[in-house]
Amino acid sequence: METNYHLVDITFYEKKIYVAYHHAFCDGRGIMPFVRKLIYYYCLKKYQPPIDIDDLSLASENMSIGELQEPFVSEEKATDTLPVFKHDAFRLPELTTDKHLYKSTRYELNIDQDSFVGWARSKHATPSITVAFLMSKVIENVHPNEKEIICNLARDDRAGSSCQNTFRNCVGSIELAYSRHPDEIPFLDQVENY
């Protein structure tokens, strides 16, 4: 309904162009060729000469084979080796009670990028995995409980597929389970393992 039942919906409001699209059609990177084309044709009508946009294919050109390919069709399933997590995990109270349902819980935190990335790499971890585990620790400290804390991280699998330019969905999420029992796996060892 939010896109007027269209896969792609373009709205002009004041001095902005809004592009809404259904995620079943493509992901964020997959919609960018369309957005670049839209900007190009808008500028072509509005300005002379038109602006130069990198990696632009015109409406008169056919889509490349790589854009139309379905990713992961021939890939082996890696999910067979991944651990299975309990889905009876801890949920934040603001997601489970009506009392907090419409309350904003957004909080911005500025972290020194160089020192944080350096520290994460010294633990052989990516910055996003490190953030996920640190957030798990914070959640455990604020809401002590016996349930597993699961971190869901968005991931883009294009780099692992055989078709880098596909407009199809390559985005999903990966679940990281944080175990809070010190006698199992220490926190930093978990970060390094992931």
Per-residue pLDDT of the chain (194 residues; tens, 9 = 90+): 777 788 888 988 898 888 888 877 777 777 888 888 888 888 888 887 767 777 777 778 777 766 766 666 655 555 555 556 556 777 777 666 666 556 666 777 788 989 999 988 888 888 888 888 888 888 888 888 778 787 777 777 766 666 667 767 777 777 777 766 656 777 777 777 77
Q: What is the pLDDT of residue 129?
A: 82
Angle of helix 113-122 versus helix 127-142 axis, rounded to 10: 90
Q: Give every CB contact of residue 49 below 8 A, 6+ residues apart in sequence.
A: none
Which pLDDT score, from 0 to 100, does residue 166 have? Answer: 74
pLDDT of residue 115: 92
Model's pTM, two decimal places?
Answer: 0.50
Which residue, among 166, 134, 167, has the nearest Cα to 153 in the 3D structure?
A: 134
Using CA atoms, how far residue 136 sits from 10, 149, 162, in Å, is 39, 6, 34
Task: Give strand pairing partners of 12.
Answer: 17
Residue 57 to residues 18, 29, 93, 165, Cα–Cα distance (Å): 21, 15, 48, 12
pLDDT value at residue 182: 55
Q: Alpha-carbon distance 152 to 146, whole Å?
A: 19
As a whole number of angstroms, the distance between CA 62 and CA 65 comes to: 9
> Nearest CA to 177 among 84, 44, 78?
84
pLDDT at residue number 36: 84
